């Protein structure tokens, strides 16, 4: 009966709360439009599980009830005798609950701290007040020769919008997972590396708009067009890898890994390292080349605004429409949203593991409270005798709390050992901390003990307030 009532409550909870997960958006992106319905097959499966759970966990007390010794049971002190044989199985289940809850909480804490570490990563540029959108003029019939002029007119019109500080372009938006890489050949260097170099085709003001500091040489300019010699600005990682402590300005390299390409591109500047494909990935050797020397068919605009970038989306759409009303805009989002989307998996794991960890902890505490409350009720006569013989209320409370914390301590110990073994399986999913991180584990353990102590304190407090005269007459 209890299992059926619990299953029915679970079905009601699932029906009322089935849209809650979507509203939380644990993936970090925009809201998903999904029609969630209770599937009858899933409902039938969960009902069967509820019934089997009730039968399985009801077998032990049912079998124990068939083994009652009639003689003591018919005597007046049957309750006292029964209280002397406290069921170890019940306490063992509480210990298991506490240990499993701790494992889930440690895993959740590791995922939450991983997400926090990734969100605090220095990306190497200013991602605030930056609006992104992508265009592909080829879809509107533009030929390659007309595309640079279109980009220039769009840039000028967007920068004329009130609230826009500057507008720039890049073939691949940063932190989007999109990138291009190739092997290179450095002129005058016989020892070439097989590690590919990443490249991004950008506008002349890309570094300034993204607020990526230039460390050496000069940046790209509007004069670096198709008629001018090919140039590139490289990042610190590429300068260290291929040129060491020497000045790379004026050195030449070429993409493709062939010796005949080694002199194609001249290095004119070195820029500070910045994240490219994502927050988790290391900063790769990167070269920034001018889009005027290699105009891509589609490109991403980055618009730096004076205020909230998201609020400027409508004005910027109107500005692009004035240049060409048939040119569609894709993937309109802020750079902060782009960064959040790159952490979709980490945010999903952190949200779900936290939810199930807290749920498991609450279930363990409910079970602990139930067991201790039942124990206090069965020991009412014993507590009354103790208090009649001089036991004080604080001493009775300590007695009950000691029994509570003993179960919690055993569960925490088992849970710690289990967590040490299990969390090693998720080491590749963590960032900035080890699976045995002492701070994370300590936080989870303290939280588990604190909540369990509160669950045990309530029946302990009730036991300490028992009136000895009433307890001695308690049946």
Task: Quick: pLDDT tens for 350-377.
Answer: 988 998 899 899 888 888 888 888 878 7
Calpha distance 333→215 (Å, rounded): 30
pLDDT digits (tens, 9 = 90+) for 41-63: 888 888 888 888 888 888 877 88
Calpha distance 149→447 (Å, rounded): 61
| Res 204: pLDDT | 94
Q: Of 13-22, 124-133, 164-173, where does mean pLDDT reach its minimum?
A: 13-22
Calpha distance 397→458 (Å, rounded): 10
Average of pLDDT values for 250-270? 87
Task: Name the percent of the chain in helix, strand, coil, to the closest 5.
Answer: 55, 15, 30
Average of pLDDT values for 290-308? 92
CB 173 within 8 A of CB 134: yes
| Res 403: pLDDT | 86
| Res 22: pLDDT | 66
Q: What is the pTM of this model?
A: 0.79
Calpha distance 169→220 (Å, rounded): 13
Q: Of 97-101, 199-203, 395-399, where does mean pLDDT reach its minimum?
A: 395-399
Q: Which residue has the tokens 């070439």?
A: 192
**pLDDT tops 50 at residue 79:** no
Calpha distance 100→94 (Å, rounded): 10
Calpha distance 183→192 (Å, rounded): 9
Structure tokens at 106: 């440690």
pLDDT digits (tens, 9 = 90+) for 447-472: 999 988 888 888 888 888 777 776 66
Calpha distance 203→289 (Å, rounded): 8
pLDDT digits (tens, 9 = 90+) for 300-343: 999 999 999 999 999 999 999 999 999 999 999 999 999 988 88
**pLDDT tops 70 at residue 182:** yes
Q: Of 7-11, 97-101, 125-129, 403-407, where does mean pLDDT reach its minimum?
A: 7-11
């Amino acid at each position: 009966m209890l299992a059926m009532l619990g299953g029915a409550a679970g079905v009601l909870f699932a029906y009322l709360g089935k849209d809650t997960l979507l509203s939380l958006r644990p993936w970090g992106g925009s809201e998903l439009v999904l029609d969630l319905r209770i599937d009858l097959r899933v409902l039938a499966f969960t009902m069967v599980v509820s019934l089997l759970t009730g039968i399985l966990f009801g077998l032990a007390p049912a079998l124990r009830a068939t083994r009652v010794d009639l003689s003591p049971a018919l005597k007046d002190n049957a309750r006292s005798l029964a209280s002397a044989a406290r069921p170890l199985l019940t306490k063992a289940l509480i210990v298991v609950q506490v240990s499993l809850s701790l494992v889930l909480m440690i895993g959740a804490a590791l995922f939450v701290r991983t997400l926090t570490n990734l969100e605090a990563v220095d990306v190497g540029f200013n991602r605030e007040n930056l609006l992104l959108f992508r265009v592909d003029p080829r879809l509107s019939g533009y030929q390659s020769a007309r595309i640079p002029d279109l980009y220039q007119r769009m840039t000028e019109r967007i920068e004329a919008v009130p609230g826009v500080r500057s507008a720039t372009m890049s073939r691949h938006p940063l932190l989007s997972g999109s990138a291009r890489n190739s092997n290179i050949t450095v002129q005058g260097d016989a020892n070439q590396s097989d590690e590919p170099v990443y490249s991004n085709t950008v506008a002349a003001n890309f570094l300034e708009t993204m607020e990526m500091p230039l460390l050496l040489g000069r940046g790209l300019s509007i004069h670096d067009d198709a008629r001018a010699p090919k140039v590139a600005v490289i990042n610190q990682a590429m300068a260290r890898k291929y040129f060491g402590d020497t000045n790379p300005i004026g050195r030449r390299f070429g993409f493709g890994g062939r010796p005949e390409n080694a002199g194609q591109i001249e290095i004119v500047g070195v820029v500070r390292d910045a994240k490219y494909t994502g927050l988790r990935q290391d900063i790769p050797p990167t070269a920034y080349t001018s889009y005027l020397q290699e105009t891509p068919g589609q490109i991403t605009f980055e618009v730096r605004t004076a205020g909230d970038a998201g609020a400027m989306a409508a004005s910027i759409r109107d500005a692009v429409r004035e240049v060409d009303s048939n040119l569609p805009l894709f993937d309109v989002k802020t750079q902060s949203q782009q960064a959040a989307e790159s952490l979709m998996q980490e945010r999903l794991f952190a949200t779900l593991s936290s939810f199930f960890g807290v749920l498991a902890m609450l279930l363990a505490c409910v079970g602990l409270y139930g067991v201790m409350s039942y124990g206090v009720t069965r020991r009412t006569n014993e507590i009354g005798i103790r208090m009649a013989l001089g036991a004080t209320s604080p001493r009775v409370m300590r007695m009950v709390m000691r029994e509570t914390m003993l179960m919690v301590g055993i569960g925490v110990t088992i849970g710690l050992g289990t967590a040490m073994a299990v969390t090693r399986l998720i080491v590749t999913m963590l960032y900035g901390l080890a699976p045995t991180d002492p701070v994370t584990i300590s936080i989870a353990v303290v939280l588990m003990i604190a909540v369990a102590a509160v669950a045990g304190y309530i029946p302990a407090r009730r036991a300490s307030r028992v009136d000895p005269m009433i307890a001695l007459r308690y049946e």
